[in-house]
């Protein structure tokens, strides 16, 4: 059986269609792999920021328990309280970055759950010592320095 040019054209179209589908499958697989790598990298960066914050917080001699926090606030100078406020603002900045990374899909769901738990623990302290939504020891409320979207999310999540 002799093949015509039309037969060869049909065969070429089928082969090209198969190649396009295979290429699309490879692109999808590559995108999924890149997304996973991006999520892992984002989590590592956020955790590095958290660890840097923890070390600087402890090195500064700031309180690590609720009992010591009240004593600290009542006995320290305004400069030390300002340093504390900046440190707490930095911590909440890490949480806010994690929130928006999650919103944009660049932080994995399992990793975000860990941040949510940490956020609620910190929010309970911020609410107790009134620096979440009120001025406290010369500190601006955290809600003044965080985005409204993140502040509302935290309040809905943690109350």
Query: How much is the pTM?
Result: 0.74
Listed by start position, the domains of the chain span 36-158
Per-residue model confidence (pLDDT) at position 138? 66
The whole-number pLDDT of residue 1 equals: 66
Res 120: pLDDT: 94
pLDDT along the chain (159 residues), means of 10: 80 86 81 77 87 85 77 80 84 94 90 93 85 75 90 94
pLDDT for the residue 137: 62
Give the 3-state secondary structure of the chain.
CCCCHHHHHHHHHHHHHHHHHHHHHHHHHHHHHHHHHHHHHHHHHHHHHHHHHHHHHHHCCCCCCHHHHHHHHHHCCHHHHHHHHHHHHHHHHHHHHHHHHHHCCCCCHHHHHHHHHHHHHHHHHHHHCCCCCCCECCECCHHHCCCHHHHHHHHHHHC
């Amino acid at each position: 059986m002799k093949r015509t040019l039309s037969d060869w054209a049909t065969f070429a179209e089928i082969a090209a269609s198969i190649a396009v589908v295979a290429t699309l499958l490879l692109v999808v697989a590559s995108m999924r792999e890149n997304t996973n790598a991006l999520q892992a990298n984002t989590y590592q960066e956020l955790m590095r920021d958290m660890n840097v914050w923890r070390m600087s917080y402890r090195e500064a001699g700031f309180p690590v328990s609720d009992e010591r926090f009240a004593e600290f606030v009542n006995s320290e100078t305004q400069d030390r309280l300002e340093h504390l406020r900046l440190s707490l603002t930095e911590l909440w900045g890490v949480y806010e970055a994690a929130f928006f990374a999650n919103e944009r899909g660049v932080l994995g769901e399992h990793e975000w759950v860990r941040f949510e738990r940490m956020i609620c623990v910190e929010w309970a302290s911020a609410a107790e010592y009134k620096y979440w939504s009120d001025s406290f020891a010369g500190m601006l409320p955290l809600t003044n320095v965080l985005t409204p979207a993140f502040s509302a999310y935290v309040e809905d999540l943690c109350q």
